[in-house]
Amino acid sequence: MHIVHTIADLRQQLSGYKRPAFVPTMGNLHDGHIALVKQAKPLGDVTVSSIFVNRLQFAPHEDFDSYPRTLDADAARLEAAGCDLVFAPREKDLYPEPQTFKVHPATDLSDILEGHFRPGFFIGVSTVVMKLFSCVFAGMPSGVAAFGKKDYQQVMVVRRLVQQFALPIDILAGETQRAADGLALSSRNGYLSEAERLEAVQLSLALKGLGEAARATSTPDLPALEAQAMQALARRGWKPDYLTVRRRADLMPPQGPLAAQPLVVLGAAKLGNTRLIDNLEI
């Protein structure tokens, strides 16, 4: 496995290949990232993963500076998973000058849920994804890029980006990987104290309970059920941003009877100093 830091070296290593399988990450890898690498690998002729903590998607008060950087350990895990090439640019390599050209996704998707509570987040995500795609797939007839469903809204933004820019890239959405107790794997789980880690599973349980309540009748009072779910988490010491039932197609609130609609229950809440997100398709 090769590790490269510059765009020029990345493209030199990719010369001769026709269909990269790409897994972009911010490092501090867990089993969810490794599962994506293993799922993507058979779909391309070279497997690439990037490790880059993207400043553009962090607000000033968020954890950019403290986000764990664990390149050596990440590289070892990627090599064991069969990754061929790691692109680990420094900030000056990917952003040699201020990134004044940015990708602004449609507000109907990017300004709700995560975008509402983290303004500008999906502009930062879309911009770095477009730049990474241009680094990895330049001159390629096709490719595949893998993203985890834990970041459900992010996957939808990336799918729409690829569609609207007519990029020859297939998007693979990998299922959320979970710990034995049901907690969605996340790099930020490492911030949790021992007691918080035991409590953290309550987010996934709350989503499951909200989904079951929503499906209990054909026309439930969703705002009331969502408020009850948030209040129950708050009583346990959480600070929930949202727990909500949405249509999978566009993340809008469902209208009419729910029985025939593919839905997803999404949640974001802060436990101590750690903000966790999760979702469950129903």
Query: Which of 2, 33, 61, 116 is the catalytic position?
Result: 33
The annotation status of 57 as a binding-site residue, yes or no, is: yes
Residue type, 189: N
Q: Pick the closest to residue 136 from 2, 1, 9 (CA basis).
A: 9
Measured CA distances, 86 to 5, 47, 112, 121 (Å) = 8, 9, 33, 25
The annotation status of 149 as a binding-site residue, yes or no, is: yes
Packing angle of the helix pair 222-235, 202-215 (nearest 10 deg): 160
CB 222 within 8 A of CB 246: no
The annotation status of 185 as a binding-site residue, yes or no, is: yes
Q: Is 182 left (phi over 0), alpha (psi -120 to 50) or beta?
A: left
The annotation status of 151 as a binding-site residue, yes or no, is: yes
The annotation status of 273 as a binding-site residue, yes or no, is: no
Cα–Cα distance measured from residue 203 to residue 197, given in angstroms and rounded to the nearest whole number: 11
The annotation status of 29 as a binding-site residue, yes or no, is: yes
The annotation status of 218 as a binding-site residue, yes or no, is: no
Q: What are phi and psi of 147, to 5 degrees?
A: -135, 150
The annotation status of 150 as a binding-site residue, yes or no, is: yes
The annotation status of 148 as a binding-site residue, yes or no, is: yes
Give the number of other Cβ atoms within 10 Å of residue 239's Cβ. Answer: 13
Is 33 assigned a catalytic role?
yes
The annotation status of 10 as a binding-site residue, yes or no, is: no
* Residues of each annotated binding site for (R)-pantoate: 57, 154
Catalytic residues: 33
* Residues of each annotated binding site for ATP: 26-33, 148-151, 185-188
* Residues of each annotated binding site: 26-33, 57, 148-151, 154, 185-188
